[in-house]
Amino acid sequence: MNPTAFLTARHLDVALGGRKVLRDVSFAWPRRQFVALVGPNGAGKTTLLRALAGLIDSSGTILIGDDTLTDLSLRQRALRFGYLPQGHVVHWPLPVRDVVALGRYPHGATDPDRLAPRDRDAVARAMSATAITEFGDRRVTELSGGERSRVALARVLALEAPVVLADEPTASLDPRYQLDVMRTLRVAADQGMLVIVVTHDLGLAARFADRVLVLSGGCLVAEGPPAEALSDQMIGDVFRVTTYRAEHERAAIIVPWAGL
C-alpha cells in the first residue's frame, strides 16, 4: 500500500440483502487527488461510496489517516467525509446561505443565524467556490436545477472535510453546469482534498481525474491514471463499447462510439 495514502481500503466486502455487492476491493489514495469511480449500472459504485463514509456495514478495513473507520464516532466520521448523495434535492424553502450553512453542523454550528466567524468564513468560501454568492438570500426552491446542484455541492464543501464523496454530481445537468461542477471539484482536490466522484461520463473522468477506479460486478477491475484505467481494451470488456479518442488543449477526449 502507498505509505503516503490518506484513505485506504483493504479487502473490502459489502453484502446487501444477502447478496455480495462488493468483493475484495483494495486501494490507497493520498490527498490532493481527484478519483473517478466508473463502471456499468449495478457495478457497486454507490455502495463503495457509502461504505467509505461508514453509512453501510462492510467487512475488511477502511483507514482514514491513521484511524480505522470503525473506531470513529459518527461525529468524527462526519467531520472527515463530505458526502453528496445522488440526486440530492432540498425541498424546504430555505435561503441558500442557510442551506450551505448546514455543512457546518458537524462542527457544532446548529443555528445559521448565529454562526461563529470561522463558520461564516467557511460558508462564504464554499459559496464563492461554487459561484452562488449572489444567490445567498434567495430561497433554494426558486433556483434552477443546475443552481440547486451547486448549492448542494457548496454545502458539502462548507464542511471542509479532507475527503469529498460525490455520487453522480453532474447527472441531469446541462454541459455548462457539468463542467462547472467538475472544475469546482478539481480545484478542491488541488487545494488539498481527496475528491472521489462517481460518474458515468468517461470523457469527464478522463479529463478531470488523476486516477480512475473501474468496478464491474462488484469487483475492482482497473485502477490507475485515466490513460491506463480507461484503455480501449478495458472499456470494451467492461462497457461493451468501442471508443473514439482524441486530444484537445492537452486534455484527453474519450467518446463511447458503438456497441460491441
**Cα within 13 Å of Cα(74), Cβ side:** 3
For 92, phi then psi, to 5°, come to: -90, 140
Angle formed by the axes of helices 145-158 and 175-190, nearest 10°: 10
In a domain, 2, yes or no: no
Contact 153, 135 (CB under 8 A): no
In a domain, 88, yes or no: yes
| pLDDT at site 114 | 92
State the total domains in the chain: 1
| pLDDT at site 76 | 95
| pLDDT at site 155 | 96
For 130, residues 6+ apart whose C-beta sits below 8 A from its C-beta are 150, 151, 153, 154, 157, 180, 184
Q: Which portions of the chain are predicted below pLDDT 50?
A: none
In a domain, 1, yes or no: no
Q: What CATH number is associated with residue 160?
A: 3.40.50.300
| pLDDT at site 3 | 61
| pLDDT at site 123 | 97
Task: Cite the beta strand spans of the chain per DSSP E.
Answer: 7-16, 19-29, 33-38, 59-64, 67-68, 81-84, 163-167, 194-198, 211-216, 219-224, 241-248, 251-259
In a domain, 85, yes or no: yes
Give the domain extent around 200.
Answer: 7-259
